[in-house]
Amino acid sequence: EKAGYEHFMLKEIHEQPTSIQNTFAGKLSELEGNVTLEELYLSKEEIKRLKRATIIACGTSWNAGILGKYLFEKLAGIHTDIETASEFRYSNPVLCGEELTIAITQSGETADTLAAVRSSTSYGCRSIAITNVVGSTITRESDSVLYTRAGPEIGVAATKTFTAQLIVLYMLAINLGRARGVISADEAKDLIVAIKRLPGQIQKVLSRKDTINECAVQFADKRDYFFIGRYLNFPVALEGALKLKEISYIHAEGYAAGELKHGPLALITDETPVVAIATKGHTYEKILSNIKEVKARNATVIAVADDDDTEIEKYVDVVIRVPSTHELLAPVLSSVALQLLSYYTALAKDCSIDKPRNLAKSVTVE
C-alpha cells in the first residue's frame, strides 16, 4: 500500500502533483479570470460586505492559515486575523457576528479547532471549513465546506494536505477578491495560469530529491536548525521547522527573518544551519541582508531559491533550487523542497518517520 515507497510520508510527498491537481480541478477559469467555488454559500452581496475574517487552526494548518491571512488581505482586501485554536476560546475574542470564520483542519476532528469554531458561530459569525475528510465533524458545524482533495494521508506529518490547503486558500482569496473588485480579471488570470503549472513544477522539485538528500545527510547530526523567511515565506519557514522537529527530533525554530536581531541571533554559531527561504519577490533584498547577518556569525546557510536566481550562490553555502513561479505561489514549491529535507534528515537518523514519538494523526482532546 506504500506503492513501493519506504514510508507513507515519502509516498504522500510524491503524490502532490496529483493531490493539487485534484484540489483545483474544474474550479479554475482562465478565460474569465475567476475561480468557481460552488460549495461556497456566500452571496456576492455578503462577500462585498465582509469586513473581517478570522482563521482558526492548529499546527501545520495554522501555518497554512498565516499564508491565508496574507492572501485575503492582498487579493481580497479583507482584514484577517489568524488564531491558534487552543488560545482563541480563552482570549475573550471580540466578535460582533459579522466576521467570517475560516477553520482549517485536515482531519476535521481537531478538538481545539472545533471548540473555537463553535464559540465563534455562537456570536452569529458565518463559517467556512477547509478540510480533507468528507463527513468529518467540522463539516457539520460550518455553513460552507471547501474540500482539499488530497486523498487519505497516513503519515502523521502533514504533507500533501498542507499544500492542498494552500491551493484552497489561493482559490478562495481569488474568488473573494474578484467578487469584491479588489483584483482584476487579468491579475486573477495570471495567478490561475501559474496555479495550473504547479503540478509540473512540483514534479521538478521531486526530481531533485538526491541533491536535497545530500544536504540533509550533511547536517543530520546538528542539534539545532533555524528556518527564516519573510512575508509569504515566513509561514514556509515555520512549517519547515515544524516538519523537521516533528520527524527528525532536531530542535528547529522558524522565524520571521527580520526578528532574528531581536533575540535569536544570540544562538547562531557555526553549529546552527540556517535555512533561508529566499525565492524572488519584494522582500528578496531584505532576506539577503538577513543571510549576511547570520553568515557574519559563521552559520552555514542553506537557501531555497529560484532557478533563475544567479546571485544567491555568492552568499550561501548550499542552494536548494525550485522552479520560478508567480511570487505569491512560491510557498507551495519551497514547502515541497523542505518536506524532502525533513524526510531525508529523519531517514539519515533512522527515525520512526510515519509515526513520530508522542504524536497522533488526529488530536481529539483539548
- Sorted by sequence, the CB contacts under 8 Å of residue 43 that are 6+ apart come out as none
For residue 311, what is its C-alpha cell? 546571485
Which ranges of the chain does DSSP label H, i.e. alpha helix? 8-14, 16-24, 44-49, 59-76, 85-88, 111-121, 137-141, 160-179, 185-207, 209-219, 233-248, 284-295, 330-348
Q: How far is the CB of 194 from ligand F6R (least distance, A)?
A: 26
Q: Which residues bind ligand F6R (CB under 6 A)?
A: 58-61, 105-107, 110, 113, 157-158, 242, 246, 362-363
Q: What is the DSSP letter of 276?
A: E
Closest CB 149 distance from ligand F6R, rounded Å? 15
Q: Tell me the CA end-to-end span of the chain in Å, nearest whole number.
A: 32
Q: In this structure, what DSSP letter does residue 266 have?
A: G
Shortest distance, CB of residue 356 to ligand F6R, whole angstroms?
Answer: 9
Q: Which is nearer to ligand F6R, 132 or 283 (CB)?
A: 132
State yes or no: is 361 an active-site residue: yes
Q: 258-282 burial string, b = 16+ CB within 10 Å, else e?
A: bebeeeebeebeeebbbbbbbbebe
Residues ≥6 apart with Cβ < 8 Å to 118: 141
Pairing of strands 251-256, 224-229: parallel
Q: From the candidates 222, 280, 349, 361, which is the catalytic residue? A: 361
Cα dihedral 150/156/162/165 (nearest 10): 60
Burial-class residue 126 by CB neighbours within 10 Å (0-12, 13-18, 19+). buried
Nearest-angstrom CA–CA distance, 86 and 88: 6
> In which residue are the cell numbers 515555520 written?
238
Strand partners, 144: 128
What separation in angstroms does the CA of 161 have from each of 147, 154, 303? 10, 11, 24
Active site residues: 361
